[in-house]
Chains A and B, each alone.
Chain A
Amino acid sequence: EAGVAQSPRYKIIEKRQSVAFWCNPISGHATLYWYQQILGQGPKLLIQFQNNGVVDDSQLPKDRFSAERLKGVDSTLKIQPAKLEDSAVYLCASSLNRGNEQYFGPGTRLTVT
């Protein structure tokens, strides 16, 4: 089966600019996750969707980050405006349902200069 797709793979922007990431989960997976992983740390959950509803966005910096999941399938994560501390790898994952094993995409490496 096809895995989780993410784009772009790399992005370099200047601070205060905006950026968007896209994720296409595995077909049929109800749960979609966005994580932020800073170098040397484990992935930190930003937002979790169940179908097209938000289950948990408690760790999403809502003043600058936003995310949506269209028709319960694809998802986009946006940062506007970006800060230097947003430099990280942004991982998208999906699972059949909450609590099941997660399948991760290759990630988007964001560098904010």
Chain B
Amino acid sequence: SQQGEEDPQALSIQEGENATMNCSYKTSINNLQWYRQNSGRGLVHLILIRSNEREKHSGRLRVTLDTSKKSSSLLITASRAADTASYFCYLYSGAGSYQLTFGKGTKLSVIP
């Protein structure tokens, strides 16, 4: 199956700190997406970055993509307790993609 591998598996930080998590992959991609899952709101799409983009911002989120290293990072600035969740990356390799699925995710705990 085609999936990204998130790192670290778990991350614990204090409220107000920045959180960085990474996604590495092996195939070529058309785009890479980040999702968040918590018990309250289920699985929610955060941001999509295309293969020809290097960086994208959305509010307190910053995503970078390095296609030469086949890796992406998600930075959450000024974290809040509400950011406590699991974060997943999802790869899309184009119309011929099969077995696209999610990795195990990074479990982020933000301590108030």
Question: Residues of A at under 8 Å CB distance from B?
Answer: 35, 40-45, 48, 56, 58-59, 91, 93, 98-107
Contact digits for B5-35, partner A, Cβ 8 Å, 1 yes 0 no:
0000000000000000000000000110101
- In the complex, the answer to whether B101 meets A101 with C-beta atoms within 8 Å is no
- In the complex, the answer to whether B98 meets A58 with C-beta atoms within 8 Å is yes
Chain A to chain B contacts (Cβ below 8 Å), 14 pairs: A42-B3, A42-B102, A42-B105, A45-B99, A45-B100, A48-B100, A56-B99, A59-B101, A98-B95, A98-B97, A99-B92, A99-B94, A100-B48, A105-B42
Q: Is B43 an interface residue (CB 8 A)?
A: yes
- In the complex, the answer to whether A59 meets B1 with C-beta atoms within 8 Å is yes
Tally chain B residues at the interface, Cβ within 8 Å.
25
Q: Which A residue's beta carbon lies closest to that of B107?
A: A40
Task: Looking at the assembled complex, report how far the CB atom of B28 sits from the nearest CB atom of chain A, in whole angstroms.
Answer: 13
Q: Within 8 Å CB of B35, what residues of A? A: 102
Number of A-B residue pairs, CB cutoff 8 Å, is: 59
- In the complex, the answer to whether A42 meets B45 with C-beta atoms within 8 Å is no
Given A45-B99, A45-B100, 14 additional A-B pairs, CB 8 A: A40-B104, A42-B88, A42-B105, A44-B1, A44-B101, A58-B98, A59-B1, A93-B43, A98-B92, A99-B30, A99-B94, A101-B33, A104-B43, A104-B44
A99, B93: Cα distance in complex, Å: 8
Taking a contact as CB atoms closer than 8 A, the residue among B48, B101, B104, B105 that contacts A45 in the complex is B101
Q: Within 8 Å CB of B102, what residues of A? A: 35, 42-44
Q: Within 8 Å CB of A100, what residues of B? A: 48
- Kindly list the 5 A-B residue pairs having the minimum CB-CB distance in the complex, ordered from nearest: A42-B102, A104-B43, A101-B45, A99-B92, A45-B101
Q: Which A residue's beta carbon lies closest to that of B100?
A: A45
